[in-house]
Amino acid sequence: MQHSTQAIHAKAIELGKLAVQMTTQSGAGHPSSALSLSHLVTTLFFEHLRFDPDNPWHPQADRLVLSEGHAVPIVYAVYADMQGRVGTSPSNSHRLSITDLNGLREFESVLDGHPNPAEGFPFFDAATGSLGMGLSVAAGVAWAALQDGSPRRVYCFIGDGESREGQIWEAADFTIDHKLTNLCAIFNANGEGQAGLVSPQQHAARLIEKLQAFGWRAVEIDGHDPQAIHAAFVEFEQTDRPLAIVARTRKGWGVQPLLGGNYHGQPVPAARLAEAFVSLDEQHRQLGSSPALAVELRSPISIPPRSTTASASPAIQLPPITAALERVGLSGAWQKGKLATRRAYGAALVALADMDERIVVLDGDVSNSTFAEMMAKAHPRRFIECKIAEQNMVSVAAGLAAAGKIPFASSFAKFLARAADQIELAAISRANIKLVGSHSGLGPASDGPSQMALADLAFFQSIGAVDNGRHLPSCVIFQPADAVATYRCVELMANWPAMCYLRTHRPDARIIYSVDERFEVGGSKILRQGNAVILVASGYLVGETMGAAESLAQRGCSCTVIDAYSLPLQSAPILESARNCGGRILTVEDNYGGGFGTAIAEAAAAAGSITVRQIQVRRIPKSARTPEQLMNAYGVSAAAIVEQVIAWSNEV
């Protein structure tokens, strides 16, 4: 559905005016970046992007990921022009009007400063704005479409300066590995960054060379030439390889006040708005178009009509863990009474995937450590090997979640830190992803601190402690003590409608729960009752703590032991227990803090009268041949617990 060159120019000018207008009105925004995309966006929306403005939730519609999120005004403009629907759900939505654009960046508006689907702009699949993540998200959406046999195509706009982010090249590798033939990456080579010109390393010619070296088909075009843009999109549609379009563009295209200087993130001053419009009108004259020509454009909707109300998916109910262990050949563990939590994770994945097609698993070349490999063996088509590129893995997972999958992404817990920024953006997107970190804490002892996740709980808990705007914590954390708890926590994760983080451990852990034990988000279990200090632990340290309690009991000091396996923690029962026995709580962790101990200390400090002390790692570790050596050296052990409790009990 090709329109005349003049009509595209006319619409590009019209949308450009809107982008300039709304940013001036808002007093903030990036009109110059938006204008550099004006023809690309116009051509894409009116000639190629098969979507229904009345139903941005349509599961088979083509998708656009705007990786350079700051350019969003041009997308808001075209969306308003098409009267696209906005809102947090089909039942709570309305059509975006041109007038609405003036609300850009207002607190009451759905038009956030950068793409933010969670606040009512569902056209986008993911929040963007921290640069370099979009191609990975697009790859996740594209992977899901291919797997589902959907005709969906996925487009992604990427800034040239942004392509300096290494994640772009991780996504480029991923796209080739997984043959994402339905993915089109468009690089916006306007040559200008924020603080200065883009490096020659990111110029159009070099981008073409790089993309080809990464195995992509890549074409260079004039990004303000409607014919060339159309031809490139047609080439993408007609062939069976991912295509990269490197488009030479002009930042501030057509707007005199935005040309010839560094106007990144600078709206046109209100006093110069008229001048800006005049210079855009002048483009009509130069290009032989006229405002009236823009009217004829229509969206190329050609997606099959489909109900917007996806049938509600029933909760997944896993069989008993014994059946799941048998399924993966681990029955012996049940008899032996011990199993590493990471192995229980693998068994749970397979059980989940047996029951629900939405389950997909990602891993970064460590599936034989995380035990995601059980999924690779049982359901190879739903196992996605991401290789050593954790940033891409997390953003791909966000894309998969946007496409309706329930993605579990696992790696060493330490290496998930590589994707901290991607995890934050996934949280902002309210992406329903499940992150799993193995070998957490001091566990990888002899490998040394470069392999140990020690700051992870502080990071995830700071996100988890805030509301996601839907009355849910932005991230739920699980650190189960045994195989049963792990199995049921993974089940909880699959059914929970928001981001989760599971922390598993390397060594075998004694099975302490019965096969029918129940667990809940934010829950905890009292494992032992006493009247002296309350000991709170999670993960493998529950075993260590039970040992300490036993030792203390023999010395006449009877302690309560609580397995706090989930954050944000329901702290009231723990504080209540503490009030009943002297008001003392000792928490036990093998991370740097900011996790369970902090959560309880904060609750206690807010409530008063309880005293909380914390055992945690208080020095950057080095190697030792066993975790036990490190636990002793850094005071995270049964002996250290005993010592602290005795000393505390002797205080007045």
Is 119 one of the binding residues for its own copies (CB under 8 A)? Answer: yes
What order do you get walking across the sheet with 611-615 strand by strand?
A: 524-528, 560-564, 534-537, 584-588, 611-615
DSSP result, 282-350: HHHHHHT--GGGGGG------SPP--SSPPPPPPP-PPPHHHHHHHTT-HHHHHHTEEEHHHHHHHHHH
* Least distance from its own copies to the Cβ atom of residue 8, Å: 30
Cβ atoms of 584 and 648 closer than 8 Å: yes
Q: Which of 92, 450, 514, 554 binds its own copies (CB under 8 A)?
A: 450
Is 624 one of the binding residues for its own copies (CB under 8 A)? Answer: yes
* Least distance from its own copies to the Cβ atom of residue 280, Å: 24
568-601 core/surface letters (b: 16 or more CB in 10 A; e: else): bbebeebbebbeebbbbbbbbbbbbbbbbbbbbb
Cα angle 18-19-22, degrees, rounded to a multiple of 5: 80
Cβ atoms of 596 and 457 closer than 8 Å: yes
Helix (H, G, I), strand (E, B) or coil at 406: strand
Tokens of 269: 């001053």
Q: Which of 47, 81, 162, 544 binds its own copies (CB under 8 A)?
A: 162
Catalytic-labelled residue, pool 14, 165, 390, 544: 390
Helix (H, G, I), strand (E, B) or coil at 129: coil
Binders of its own copies: how many residues, by CB under 8 A? Answer: 127
Tokens of 386: 């991401």
Q: Exposed, middle or buried: residue 130 (CB in 10 Å: 0-12, 13-18, 19+)?
A: middle
Q: Which of 1, 27, 97, 572 binds its own copies (CB under 8 A)?
A: 27
Largest interatomic CA distance in the chain: 94
Using the rule CB under 8 A, give the single segment among 57-65, 232-240, 398-406, 618-626 that binds its own copies. Answer: 618-626
Is 524 one of the binding residues for its own copies (CB under 8 A)? Answer: no
Is 508 one of the binding residues for its own copies (CB under 8 A)? Answer: no
Distance CA 414, CA 437 (A): 7
Is 606 one of the binding residues for its own copies (CB under 8 A)? Answer: yes
Is 581 one of the binding residues for its own copies (CB under 8 A)? Answer: no
Is 604 one of the binding residues for its own copies (CB under 8 A)? Answer: yes
Q: Which of 245, 409, 561, 610 binds its own copies (CB under 8 A)?
A: 610
Is 112 one of the binding residues for its own copies (CB under 8 A)? Answer: yes
* Least distance from its own copies to the Cβ atom of residue 422, Å: 9
173 versus 508: smaller Cβ distance to its own copies: 173
**Sign for the pseudo-dihedral over CA of 153, 158, 163, 165:** negative
Is 576 one of the binding residues for its own copies (CB under 8 A)? Answer: no
Q: Which of 1, 94, 196, 580 binds its own copies (CB under 8 A)?
A: 196
Is 88 one of the binding residues for its own copies (CB under 8 A)? Answer: no
Give residues 209-268 in contact with its own copies (rule: CB under 8 A). Answer: 209-210, 212-215, 262
Q: Exposed, middle or buried: residue 281 (CB in 10 Å: 0-12, 13-18, 19+)?
A: middle
Which neighbouring-strand residues pair with 564? 524
Of 629, 628, 411, the closest CA to residue 540 belongs to 628
Tokens of 149: 């046999």
Residue labelled with tokens 């008993």: 320
Tokens of 9: 């120019």
Of 569, 564, 563, 587, the closest CA to residue 648 belongs to 587
Distance CA 587, CA 446 (A): 25
4 versus 462: smaller Cβ distance to its own copies: 462
Is 298 one of the binding residues for its own copies (CB under 8 A)? Answer: no
Distance CA 118, CA 98 (A): 21
Is 571 one of the binding residues for its own copies (CB under 8 A)? Answer: no
* Least distance from its own copies to the Cβ atom of residue 652, Å: 12
Q: Which of 24, 38, 43, 109 binds its own copies (CB under 8 A)?
A: 109
Cβ atoms of 636 and 541 closer than 8 Å: yes
Using the rule CB under 8 A, give the single segment among 39-47, 93-101, 226-234, 587-595 that binds its own copies. Answer: 587-595
Is 550 one of the binding residues for its own copies (CB under 8 A)? Answer: no
* Least distance from its own copies to the Cβ atom of residue 372, Å: 9
**Sign for the pseudo-dihedral over CA of 565, 566, 571, 573:** negative
Tokens of 124: 């986008």
Q: Which of 270, 466, 515, 526 binds its own copies (CB under 8 A)?
A: 466
Is 350 one of the binding residues for its own copies (CB under 8 A)? Answer: no
Distance CA 387, CA 633 (A): 35
Q: Which of 199, 313, 331, 531 binds its own copies (CB under 8 A)?
A: 199
Catalytic status, residue 170:
no
Is 129 one of the binding residues for its own copies (CB under 8 A)? Answer: yes
Using the rule CB under 8 A, give the single segment among 25-33, 271-279, 481-489, 556-564 that binds its own copies. Answer: 25-33
Q: Which of 146, 273, 420, 639 binds its own copies (CB under 8 A)?
A: 420
Q: Which of 79, 155, 157, 169 binds its own copies (CB under 8 A)?
A: 169
Q: Which of 99, 467, 554, 650 binds its own copies (CB under 8 A)?
A: 467
Is 142 one of the binding residues for its own copies (CB under 8 A)? Answer: no
Is 301 one of the binding residues for its own copies (CB under 8 A)? Answer: no
Q: Which of 67, 116, 486, 571 binds its own copies (CB under 8 A)?
A: 116
Is 106 one of the binding residues for its own copies (CB under 8 A)? Answer: yes
Helix 134-148 to helix 166-177 angle, to the nearest 10 degrees? 20
Cβ atoms of 489 and 522 closer than 8 Å: no
Is 52 one of the binding residues for its own copies (CB under 8 A)? Answer: no
560 versus 587: smaller Cβ distance to its own copies: 587
225 versus 373: smaller Cβ distance to its own copies: 373
* Least distance from its own copies to the Cβ atom of residue 314, Å: 28
**Which residues participate in catalysis according to the annotation?**
390
